[in-house]
Structure 1
Amino acid sequence: MTQIAYRSALATLEATRPLPVLAGIALRVAVVLAVWSQRRRTRIALADLDAHMLRDIGIEPEIARAEARRPFWLG
């Protein structure tokens, strides 16, 4: 959901006024780094949840472990 918000903000910014090429590249890099950072944080938090907490949010422990092990650069 946040990735959609980042991309939406990027599209809105680019639609209102064209950016210089270097600024556009820098903005895209910043968006990718922000998405990666959020994925890393959420996967670390997911790995810290115990079985009881996972049941509360409706996630099987095996699925949570598999997701937590995924590299942050994979969506």
Structure 2
Amino acid sequence: MARSHMTAPTLILSNARALPPVSRLIVSLAQTVLTWDLRRHGRRALRDLDPHLLRDIGLSEQSAAEEGAKAFWRA
């Protein structure tokens, strides 16, 4: 079974090292929340796909159900 990796867009800051520690922590937290939200939406969409669409993208109903059942914080 092929494993897909969903990635969140990365916030690129040119002077990230120049940020105060609290700001870096907030940016990191925001990126984590964004990643979780993208996983949640992606897994829900995958879970709701029709069987013929799953076949089009090369997934079985079982693998889509397994991925859709994962918690959003699990990679």
Q: Which TM-score tier does this pair reach, normalised by the shorter chain?
A: 0.7 to 0.9
Which 5+ residue runs of structure 1 have no aligned equivalent? none
Alignment of 1:1-75 (within 5 A): 1-3=6-8, 5-6=9-10, 9=11, 12-13=12-13, 16-17=14-15, 18-75=18-75
Provide the aligned length of Structure 1 versus Structure 2: 68
TM-score, normalisation: structure 2: 0.82
User: CA separation in 2, counterparts of 1:33 and 1:74?
Assistant: 13
Runs of 4+ in 1 over 2 A off after TM superposition: none
More helix by percentage? 1
3-state SS of the aligned residue for 1:49? coil
Counterpart of 1:37, as a letter, is: D
TM-score, normalisation: structure 1: 0.82
Counterpart of 1:24, as a letter, is: R
Identity %: 37
